[in-house]
Amino acid sequence: MSIQSRAKSKNISHGNREKRSMMFWGWMLIAPTLIGLLILNIIPVIQTLIMSFQNVSTFGESTWVFFDNYKRLFEDPKFWLSLKNTLLYGIIQVPITVALSTLAAVLLNQKIKGVEVYRVIYFLPMIAAPAAVAMVWRWMYSSDYGLINSFLKFLGFSGNIEWLYNPQVVIWSLIIVGIWSNVGYNMILLLSGLQEIPKSYYEAADLDGAGTVQQFFKITLPLLTPQLFFVLVTSIISAFQVFDLIFVMFEATNPALSKVQSLVYQFYNETFILDDKGYGAAIVIILVVLIMIVTVIQLIGQKKWVNYD
């Protein structure tokens, strides 16, 4: 072997060793996340999927029942009611929340005195524990001594709305709390988007003759679409997963519960109260599929309305 080619082959083996060591450290550094993801997310998802095709008994023995759980599900009126409640909650809560968040973000993007204080106030619901939030709202919704009915009475209404027990009203009570809890967080996300819009666009629009309202619809809104899209996707996902508010606001014996019970609530009930893990698993798999379909539709639909520079 000539000196030259020996040097060359040495170089190659040296290069391989370096490459291998880089690979090793690369894997080592992402290992914690990867292992966490595997144990906490991926394995449970697969287990749940398997479980949804099984009948799992109290003591853990499981028998394959294939699509029986799903068949049962589609014949279960309680499931259809939960699905309807979940969809209704998502369809009404999300648009109102996004609209109010946008409005709040635009208002809190103005030069007003004490704007930081307002931003904190709007964000507070986000840092409060959902259970605590639900407890406070439960108290406010109380038909006899609740703040809301007292206030309605003060305004001259009859003020005897059964916020937590009237089957016609309960879903709206839940939606109101849902909106209140989520506006602050979404507002912060949208506010960051608003602050990225250069001032010169508004100055150019000023000279072009656009008023405040036209500027909002022609400049602000189109340039805020990447953030709006993100907020919309995450809001729908979290709305479809609503559980804690229902769990705390409506006790299990509440006769109106069936009118607010969501898919996740029913899953909880079937799995941990009635101990039918296979059936519960089938419910969440349906929910996952539902969320996936809606998200994919949104991902495709975004091409029509989201502006990326």
Residues that bind another protein (CB under 8 A): 198, 200-201, 203-210, 214, 218-219, 222-223, 225, 307, 309
Nearest distance from C-beta of residue 219 to another protein, angstroms: 7
Do residues 249 and 61 make contact, with C-beta atoms less than 8 angstroms apart? no
Between residues 91 and 204, which has the closer beta carbon with respect to another protein?
204
- CB contact set of 301 (below 8 Å; sequence gap of 6+): none
Nearest distance from C-beta of residue 109 to another protein, angstroms: 18
Between residues 16 and 212, which has the closer beta carbon with respect to another protein?
212
Between residues 123 and 202, which has the closer beta carbon with respect to another protein?
202
Between residues 208 and 275, which has the closer beta carbon with respect to another protein?
208
Nearest distance from C-beta of residue 203 to another protein, angstroms: 5
Between residues 165 and 230, which has the closer beta carbon with respect to another protein?
230
Nearest distance from C-beta of residue 226 to another protein, angstroms: 11
Nearest distance from C-beta of residue 210 to another protein, angstroms: 6
